[in-house]
Structure 1
Amino acid sequence: MTLRKLPEITAGKLPEAFAFEPDSDALEKWNAGIRAEQTTENTITMLDVIGEDWWTGGGVTAKRVAAALRQIGDQEVFVDINSPGGDFFEGVAIYNMLRAHKQKVTVRILGLAASAASVIAMAGDEVQIGKAGFVMVHNAWVIAIGNRHDMRDAADTLEPFDDAMASLYAERAGVEKKIAARWMDDETWFNGEQAVDKGLADAFLTVDTKTDSTAAAAATPVNATRRIDAAMARAGIPRSERRSLLGEVKGGKHDAAPNVTHDADDWTAAARRLTETLRS
């Protein structure tokens, strides 16, 4: 069995000036309820945002993937992905872990592999995708806060990541790097047929998928909260203050939906503070 030789992506220290957040468009289009009908014991599921998710306590982390690989051991691995992306540093770490696995890695894109999740998908020796699935590629996307020096540092930090991703997509698709870079500049969405046609995936899924409406419904308020959180971050509000404001609106629990039984006056006051903060 000949395995694909994949390039390593080197990630340095994350500057304090910015933080990776899931792309709001990807969050809106992500159906969290899509999952495989059947899975094998040597399957790693990535059906959440990439990186630790403060709001739910979940998220796909490098630590979790490393533990799963140790448990699976020296055998073929299947990776089921349905993710809007998230923390690029975590995505790079997971990609490098999978590419270093000595046995075949088969990636199955059940619904969406966007942003950092698309980087992880490229670690597969074989990449399968559903005809109704999507791959989204774009330049590394962050929310940056600080002065002009912080902004320059952030841009300088991101540039080699974008170049590495362009090389990765180009090698997988068999195209010139400038073409892959253009896909990223345009934030390109490929449906299943387009992904296979362009070479970002090798074949269509051979496993059945199902939609869990309960899981999708449960994710809806959490996704809305994530989008509000991203909007506040773009407005320059520190993470600690964002968490405090949203925690008030949600009754003080980070993994709860907005609490409609919370005292109406308290809820209204918290919501008003949130609105005023976004407008300021």
Structure 2
Amino acid sequence: MRKLPRAINGVHARQRPAALPLPADRKVSAFTPSPVLDRWNADAAGIRPSALEIGDNVITMFDVIGEDWWTGGGVTAQKVSAQLRAIGDRPVEVQINSPGGDMFEGLAIYNVLREHPQDITIKIMGLAASAASVIAMAGDRVEIGAASFLMIHNCWVVAIGNRHDMAEVSEYLEPFDRAMADVYAQASGRTSAECAKWMDAETYMSGSMAVERGFADALLPADQVRIDEQARADDRRTNEIRATELALIQSGMTRSQARARINTLKGTPGAASDPASTPGAGGTGLTDVFGRMLSTLTI
């Protein structure tokens, strides 16, 4: 079992909860990019542990990272913290099959897991992409299925504005990309520069490749995972809605407008018309951080 130094930029996570940078203003909204959802639908949706019963020290992450407005689900730092309190001072197993989602929530969950006083074993059951790959790096031991994937890339945004707005967005995102590269480097033993190159290339690593590069310690036995066809169908339907929302936002709609349009097509007109009842909708879609543009930050 590898024992990682629990420090980011010289700051020990067990001594300081905010070991990774988190924004002071979280009015940016988040969703998973369409290419990742497509890969999730094709390869990983519906993968679950094969055991009929899951121990009371196991945390499962079989959903998007961050609160999911469409389903009411999603993996959040608040939920993970509550689960850790219930488990108490014992070793923890975290099972992951997630396309990622909200970068900020992923960083928060990483910090929460690193604060746990006992060892944490991460098991990647299908896909740990984007924000979920950051969470996976919190493990004292990481195991991955031979047919599973770990995917890393830079912060991903949808933004509307002129070249000055885009320059501001780039400057804003740079420290988060650097922080992630540092996390991957500490976990894998590779350099931050190597990890940054893999992030630039939006790299998918198979199970054996993740082990070879140091991002995982061992492969999972084949009989530890199975395909839940009902869960796969449910995951794919929800991901189609998320991808449609993203396409509408890329066309120039605000997030509230996109959700209202989708709900109208689903037969529930006006369901998203009140931004106050729409987590992450951001009202007009203009954030305080970027002024005149809609910005959506994910990894």
TM-score band (shorter)? 0.7 to 0.9
Instruction: Tell me which of 248, 252, 265 is aligned to 1:236.
Output: 252
What is the Cα-based RMSD across aligned positions, in Å? 2.0
Q: Deviations over 1:70-92 (max 9, x none)?
A: 10111001000000000000000
Secondary structure at the counterpart of residue 29 of structure 2? strand
Deviation, structure 1 residue 254: 10
Aligned equivalents of 1:254 and 1:129: distance in 2?
A: 43
CA contact (8 A) 1:19 1:144 kept: no
User: Structure 1 vs Structure 2: percent identity of aligned residues?
Assistant: 50
1:89 paired with 2:104, answer yes
Moved more, 142-151 or 85-94: 142-151
Aligned equivalents of 1:124 and 1:149: distance in 2?
A: 40
CA contact (8 A) 1:22 1:87 kept: yes
1:155 paired with 2:161, answer no
Counterpart in 2 of 1:276? none
1:12 paired with 2:23, answer yes
1:168 paired with 2:187, answer no
Aligned equivalents of 1:149 and 1:72: distance in 2?
A: 48
Aligned equivalents of 2:178 and 2:250: distance in 1?
A: 24
Secondary structure at the counterpart of residue 186 of structure 2? helix
In structure 2, give the amino acid aligned to 1:181.
Answer: A
Counterpart in 1 of 2:48? 35
Deviation, structure 1 residue 150: 4.1
In structure 1, give the amino acid aligned to 2:261.
Answer: L
Secondary structure at the counterpart of residue 239 of structure 2? helix
Aligned equivalents of 1:123 and 1:212: distance in 2?
A: 27
In structure 2, give the amino acid aligned to 1:13.
Answer: A
In structure 1, give the amino acid aligned to 2:112.
Answer: M
Aligned equivalents of 1:26 and 1:239: distance in 2?
A: 19
Aligned equivalents of 1:5 and 1:233: distance in 2?
A: 41
Secondary structure at the counterpart of residue 128 of structure 2? strand
In structure 2, give the amino acid aligned to 1:9.
Answer: L
Aligned equivalents of 1:19 and 1:142: distance in 2?
A: 10
Q: Deviations over 1:162-213 (max 9, x none)?
A: 0011111122221221111000000000000000011000111146111100
Instruction: Tell me which of 47, 62, 80 is aligned to 2:77.
Output: 62
Go from structure 1 to structure 2 and tell me whether the alpha carbon gap of 1:225 and 1:41 turns closer, same or farther (over 3 Å shift).
Answer: same
CA contact (8 A) 1:85 1:113 kept: yes
In structure 2, give the amino acid aligned to 1:128.
Answer: E
Moved more, 70-79 or 165-174: 165-174
1:21 paired with 2:31, answer yes
For normalisation by structure 2, the TM-score amounts to: 0.80
Q: Deviations over 1:208-250 (max 9, x none)?
A: 1111001111222211111111112222210110110000111
Moved more, 180-189 or 31-40: 31-40
- Unmatched 5+ residue regions in structure 1? 256-280
For normalisation by structure 1, the TM-score amounts to: 0.85
CA contact (8 A) 1:113 1:135 kept: yes
Secondary structure at the counterpart of residue 20 of structure 1? coil
Aligned equivalents of 2:172 and 2:84: distance in 1?
A: 30
